[in-house]
Amino acid sequence: MVLPCKLSDCFLWLAIAIGVAGCAVRVTIPMPLATLSDDLDVTSLRMAIGQSLAYLQKLPPDQAVGEQPRPLTAHEIKNSLIAFNRLLDRRYSRECLAREIAARFELVASSAELQQAEVLFTGYYQPVIDASLMRTDDYRFPIYAVPVDLIAHEQDGARKLGRIENDVLVPYYSRREIDQLGVLRGRDLEIAWVKNPIDLFFLHIQGSGLLRFEDGRELTVGYAGQNGLAYRSIGRFLIDSGRVAKEEMSMQRLRRYLMENPAEQDEVFAYNESYVFFGLSDGGAIGSLGVPITAGRSIATDSRLFPRGALALIQTDIPIIGAQGELAGWRSVTRFVLNQDTGGAIRGQQRADYYFGTGEAAGAMAGYMNRSGRVYFLVLKNDR
């Protein structure tokens, strides 16, 4: 029986035993967690939960939304979010909320193998970029909408992207063919132009951006499609070619290298053949689920594996940024987040991307974020 709890303004301080579900033998994860804490506001958490519910409510209840850490349906994830929201409504004290969560939810590790439960967290953000709706001498680098000849085709049980040439599906144009050879010019696909090819490339990496126009207007560009070619890290390319030391690599260091070596930009950009296409909106950053993502509350994982829209608890360190934008240290955090996005570089069970928000400060944190941590998905008990 659950005993009544006193109301408290303290929010989300937890002390819970965490178990792995879906295994032949139930085990307890040996975590030195005397206390867990969520240091963000309830409003942002409710907002992110609401966006996941908006996505899940459009799906058939029995539709699979993820295969790891065990198969889960839209019904299970939706009911888990609704139940968790009800706990937030009751404003439990730290001890009571911990007891309620332990009683009602499984906290399922992202990997059933405890030795492999750690994931690598990187960060992403929404850049703010000066742009124009017309091509000018200053604004020469286009942001493209999805081309009409980019098609999806089921082949050998897998979904493949490409274009039809002589009645055969062939790979779609690469980054070099699009940006350097101009194969998409003249098709009326340009939705805006930017000044700097480095800004354009990083817009592709982040997946969305806030465009700022000279008349003061702002519009969001969000991910609308991709050319189907594999993502390759240009940071890894610069490390492997001996141009930047591994221990120096960050988003900031990568940008500086590109600015200092303009003659190499085409070569470096072309290494990543993956190309992103965008759509315009007047809202915030949109994740792969087609709903807005929330700073500090949204993560991107491998959409082929993990339950889309699900609530998770993460433990990792986030950067502390100094007055000059430098990395000044790390702060340990434990937070509830929603799995609402994916990315070309986010593949496998041991990768997650944490969304820091919009603008320069968020970009500084995202640029340095590269820390190990853990992810636990919250699933309502006895709800299959």
Full pLDDT tens readout for the chain, 384 residues: 343 454 333 444 444 433 333 333 333 343 333 344 588 898 999 999 999 999 999 999 999 999 887 899 999 999 999 999 998 888 767 677 777 888 889 888 886 554 456 899 999 999 999 999 999 999 999 999 999 999 998 777 678 899 999 999 999 999 999 999 999 999 999 999 999 999 999 999 988 899 999 999 999 998 889 999 999 999 999 999 999 999 999 899 999 999 999 999 999 999 999 999 999 877 788 888 989 999 999 999 988 899 999 999 999 999 999 998 889 999 999 999 999 998 877 888 889 999 999 999 999 999 999 999 999 999 999 765
Whole-angstrom distance, CA of residue 372 vs CA of residue 248: 18
What pLDDT sits at residue 215?
92
How confident is the model over 214-242, as pLDDT tens digits? 999 999 998 889 999 999 999 999 999 99
Whole-angstrom distance, CA of residue 315 vs CA of residue 275: 32
Domains identified in the chain and CATH numbers: 126-281 (2.40.240.50)
Cα–Cα–Cα angle for 125, 130, 135, rounded to 5 degrees: 130
Tokens of 266: 């085409």
Question: What are the residues whose beta carbons fall under 8 Å from the beta carbon of 168, sequence distance 6 or more?
Answer: none
Nearest Cα to 300, choosing from 356, 346, 251? 346
pTM: 0.81
Q: What is the 3-state secondary structure (H, E, C) of the chain?
A: CCCCCCECCCCCEECCCCEECCCCCCEECCCCCCCEECCCCHHHHHHHHHHHHHHHCCCCCCCEEECCCCCEEHHHHHHHHHHHHHHHHCCECHHHHHHHHHHHEEEEECCCCHHHCEEEEEEEEECEEEEECCCCCCCCEEEECCCCCCEEEEECCEEEEEEEECCEEECCCCHHHHHHCCCCCCCCCEEEEECCHHHHHHHHHHCEEEEECCCCCEEEEEEEEECCCCCCCHHHHHHHCCCCCHHHCCHHHHHHHHHHCHHHHHHHHHHCCCCEEEEEECCCCECCCCCECCCCCEEECCCCCCCCCCEEEEEEEEEEECCCCCEEEEEEEEEEEEEEECCCCCCCCCEEEEEEEECHHHHHHHHHCEEEEEEEEEEECCCC
How confident is the model over 79-123, as pLDDT tens digits? 999 999 998 888 767 677 777 888 889 888 886 554 456 899 999
How confident is the model over 344-369, as pLDDT tens digits? 778 888 899 999 999 999 999 999 99
Q: Which residues pair with 36 in a beta bridge?
A: 14
